[in-house]
Amino acid sequence: MLVTGGSRGIGRATVVSLAEAGASVGLSYHSAHEEAERAVEDARAACEAAPCEVKLWSEAGDLSHEADVERLFARVDVEFGGLDGFVGNAGVWNSAATPLSELGPRQWREMVDVNLTSIYLTTRAAVKRMGEGGRVVLLSSTAAQRGEAEHSHYAATKGAINSFCKSIATELGPRGITVNAVAPGWVDTDMSASVLRTPALERVISEIPLRRVATAEDVAGPICFLLSDLARHLTGEVVNVNGGSVLCG
């Protein structure tokens, strides 16, 4: 298995959950070396408690750059010799509200590169290494379905991921490869802390039918399900993991 953006948040929780289930996992990260090492250590500890024997490793890189993607997958080839499952989780969200009238071309391109180009490059490389039974899970967002005012560039990239998911699910189905997306709502991670650690949290919770913000583990569970044989006949779907918030728009 390979998980991009695996050093923290949803990616880290997914790495730990996969290792606990007995899967060997490589994780990529941009620059947070110490966090990536801790994620590997936590995954190894979870595996030992299971107990199981797995291979765990991490690799740095900017996945919007083709050379870094090639280096990451050269590591995949050395460590695994192929790939059974891929989680495209690398991405960013900026809490700063940016109306369309103030959204500059540079901001737009940076968001597209990090959230979408990286998904295209890594997914393309991953499926080249998959045989029948391969699993691809891409991280989308509730924002792709409801829209997100003053975050149009973020919502646009996540909407594109939904369409990308459905297109390649159709393309890769004859090869026995499933492709699905997971769309979280608010998740209690470092990326959303600038909002969830403020009085705005009360408003956020009031818009979620289950009346709580998801943990990273809440999202990792459905990801692991989609990577398993239990989901072998499920493809081209966008699975909402948002406590029902998408119902209230």
Task: Please report the pLDDT score of residue 31 as a whole number.
Answer: 87
| Residues designated as active site | 154
Task: Please report the pLDDT score of residue 126 as a whole number.
Answer: 98
Q: Which range, of 32-36, 131-135, 233-237, averages the lowest pLDDT?
A: 32-36
Phi, psi of 181 (to 5 degrees): -120, 150
| C-beta separation of 179 from 227 below 8 A | no
Task: Please report the pLDDT score of residue 97 as a whole number.
Answer: 82
Structure tokens belonging to residue 59: 């690799």
| Residue 171 exposure: Cα atoms within 13 Å on the Cβ side | 10
Residue 167 in this model has a pLDDT that exceeds 70: yes
Task: Please report the pLDDT score of residue 146 as a whole number.
Answer: 79
pTM: 0.91
Task: Please report the pLDDT score of residue 89 as a whole number.
Answer: 95
Task: Please report the pLDDT score of residue 202 as a whole number.
Answer: 79
pLDDT, tens digit, 9 for 90 and up, residues 189-244: 776 666 667 787 777 787 888 888 889 999 999 999 999 999 999 999 999 999 88
State how beta strands 25-29 and 178-184 pair. unpaired
Task: Please report the pLDDT score of residue 248 as a whole number.
Answer: 67
d(CA 166, CA 136): 11
Instruction: Write down the H helix ranges in the chain.
Output: 9-20, 33-49, 66-79, 105-112, 118-128, 143-146, 152-172, 193-196, 200-206, 216-227
Is the alpha carbon torsion for 102, 106, 112, 114 positive or negative? negative
C-alpha 231: how far from chain center: 17
d(CA 46, CA 185): 26
Phi, psi of 2 (to 5 degrees): -130, 130
Residue 120 in this model has a pLDDT that exceeds 80: yes
d(CA 10, CA 191): 10
